[in-house]
């Protein structure tokens, strides 16, 4: 029988001994130079087609470098959508490659909609016969707690998971997330704890997780108290700032509970290291991925 | 010089004499029977490819029926994403067809993300050389008012528009939208009024609009008071319930300001009319579109 997502995530973290996730965000102006050469001089549809081919080659290389090193990848859908249909074709292939390499896939799509529309989004990403077939998807709760239900129902059917946007760390994040008393974000956390209770596996972790940005400890600890069984997906390490201690401020006593993402910090070099990177981008990425993994070790 | 979205929307409403929008939501179990026959017995990728071809044929027929009758179409991205890359190829072609037919395009994608990611989403849909090139996009504000800025900046560059989710009418919509004092939704409305002021055109309408569901008058009137220059995109008419009076409760004194969407109510028949619909789906859709347009007439 297939395992529930919360358990599969725990098994993946234990297998590699760390809770590091790498974001697969193809920034077209930062890919290795030999790949950029393919699309740099093109326009319109030709640009998108060639850039998509370059991104596929890049992702194949990255996945090769990450296999057995980190527990999961997190493709950011926006960068594939920017390439139109060819970009989504690459995303389909990328998910299949990552799955074959034993990496879990967290689809960073931040979807949120009502009833049949939400169900369509959930199936596309979580169902085994959906085009993208990832293991989990990020979800936006603004339209209401009821709009999470079609995603959670699909998690039950497909053994998938969700990460609901609870607290982010962008400059304006408190505008709505800290509105009201209690904070709106805490209300979301309470709803998730309740809804996620039905999908807690033998590892003690639920398939209903939360996006909780890296921030100084107090709020992360509060959110952990509310959502004891939730995986926290933590962006905001590396290029987005946020310290290592902040990133794991929401960790459980057993060391589980946080998944720490880095995208640009692993995939791309600082400007002055461009030449070294271009000489062997796969080696660079493998080195940075190992460093990211070492920072966020978890006892096996 | 290109006109700003707020003005283009006003011109489109005046040209057809109504504020009716039709949602282009391809529900695969409800398409005309001769199109369903193409994909019904298929699986996996073959299913998605054949279904995408059927959706393209359907959309061509629908756009033909809507040309000159309503002011805009609203494709719901979820139903194209469900078909993977072939679905997005159909969405690209659908946007091009609608543009050629003189219909404005409101991309119902409900995107919301930070900085460079938000900018990528905005360009994909609003930029003239983006793959989808619609006139406006729906946006989710949960991550903070700052996350709207990349979309608004792209509106300035591309003469596009946004409709930010302020108040929806699904059963759980008040969970966050009515949280706090003032309601969180009203805070969003205030931020939109401020940000939208820089993009008000000669029609008096801004390129920064809002999604405001059809609801009894008081709250729509309050939101209109806060956002005097905003187009309100009103879902929730037809299949989602909501009366005609509710739909235009947020209209301005000059009769402008509301765009009323109907999707399933125009595109698909009730079960007992299936045979009549299948005999001539284009005629059925043209009739229902005309009825929807007549319900929401605006003085030219």
Percent of chain A whose predicted confidence (pLDDT) is above 90: 91
Does A42 have pLDDT greater than 70? Answer: yes
Q: Give A186-237 pLDDT, tens digit per residue.
A: 999 999 999 999 999 999 999 999 999 988 779 999 999 999 999 999 996 7
pLDDT at A30 over 90: yes
> Beta partners for B208?
B162
Contacts with B, A 164-203, CB within 8 Å? 165, 168, 170-177, 179-181, 184, 187-188, 191
pLDDT value for B239: 60
A110, A113, A124 member nearest B113 (Cβ)? A110
- pLDDT, position B130: 96
Backbone phi and psi for residue B75, each to the nearest 5 degrees, phi listed first: -75, 130
Q: Which domains does chain B have, with CATH numbers?
A: 5-295 (3.20.20.70)
pLDDT digits (tens, 9 = 90+) for B56-102: 999 999 999 999 999 999 999 999 999 999 999 999 999 999 999 99
Name the one residue in this structure whose structure tokens are 């008058």.
B217
pTM summary value: 0.97
| pLDDT tens-place string over residues A237-284 | 765 567 888 899 899 988 899 999 999 999 999 999 999 999 999 999
Q: pLDDT digit string (tens) for B106-162?
A: 999 999 999 999 999 999 999 999 999 999 999 999 999 999 999 999 999 999 999
Q: Give A-chain residues touching B43 at CB under 8 angstroms.
A: 129
Q: How far apart are CA B259 and CA B235, in angstroms?
A: 9
Residue A2 pLDDT: 77
pLDDT category at B298 given cuts 50, 70, 90 is: very high
A257, two tokens: 């509970």
With tokens 């709505």, the residue in question is A176
Reply yes or no on whether the pLDDT at B1 is more than 60.
Answer: no
Nearest to B131 among A79, A84, A180 (CB): A84
Per-residue pLDDT band for B284 (boundaries 50, 70, 90) equals very high
Residue B241 has pLDDT above 80, yes or no: no
Q: Which of B36, B42, B110, B272 is catalytic?
A: B110
Residues 6 or more apart in contact with residue B175 via CB below 8 angstroms: A144, A145, A146, A187, A191
Nearest CA in chain B to A211: B143
pLDDT at residue number A236: 67
CA atoms within 13 A on the CB side of B207: 24
Residue A142 has which token pair? 């603004």
**Contact yes or no for A209/A185 (Cβ under 8 A):** no
Question: What confidence score (pLDDT) does residue A238 get?
Answer: 64
Residue A106 DSSP SS3: strand
Q: What is the bridge-based pairing of β-strands B72-75 and B161-167?
A: unpaired
Determine whether the interchain pair B184/A188 forms a contact, defined as Cβ–Cβ distance below 8 Å. no
pLDDT tens sequence across A101-115: 999 999 999 999 999
As a whole number, mean pLDDT of residues A166-184 equals 97
Give B193-220 pLDDT, tens digit per residue: 999 999 999 999 999 999 999 887 799 9
């Amino acid at each position: 029988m297939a395992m529930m997502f919360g358990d599969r995530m725990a098994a993946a973290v234990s297998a590699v001994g760390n809770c590091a996730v790498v974001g697969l965000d193809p920034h077209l102006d930062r890919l290795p130079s030999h790949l950029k050469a393919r699309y740099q001089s093109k326009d319109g549809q030709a640009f998108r087609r060639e850039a998509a081919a370059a991104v596929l080659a890049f992702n194949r290389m990255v996945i090769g470098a990450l296999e057995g090193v980190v527990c999961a990848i997190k493709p950011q859908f926006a960068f594939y959508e920017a390439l139109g249909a060819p970009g989504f074709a690459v995303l389909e292939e990328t998910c299949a490659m990552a799955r074959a390499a034993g990496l879990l896939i967290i689809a960073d799509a931040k979807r949120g909609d009502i009833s049949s529309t939400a169900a369509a989004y959930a199936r596309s990403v979580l169902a085994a016969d959906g085009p993208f077939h990832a293991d989990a998807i990020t979800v936006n709760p603004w339209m209401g707690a009821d709009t999470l239900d079609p995603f959670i129902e699909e998690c039950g059917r497909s053994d998938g998971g969700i990460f609901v946007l609870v607290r982010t760390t962008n400059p304006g994040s408190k505008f709505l997330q800290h509105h009201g008393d209690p904070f709106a974000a805490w209300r979301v956390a309470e709803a998730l704890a309740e809804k996620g209770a039905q999908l807690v596996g033998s590892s003690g972790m639920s398939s209903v997780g939360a996006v909780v940005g890296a921030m100084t400890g107090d709020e992360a600890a509060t959110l952990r108290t509310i959502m004891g069984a939730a995986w926290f997906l933590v962006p905001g390490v590396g290029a987005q700032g946020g310290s290592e201690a902040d990133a794991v401020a929401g960790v459980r006593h057993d060391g589980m509970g946080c998944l720490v993402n880095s995208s640009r910090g692993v995939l791309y070099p600082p400007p002055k290291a461009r030449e070294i990177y271009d000489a062997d981008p796969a080696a660079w990425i493998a080195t940075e991925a190992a460093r990211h993994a070492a920072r966020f070790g978890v006892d096996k």
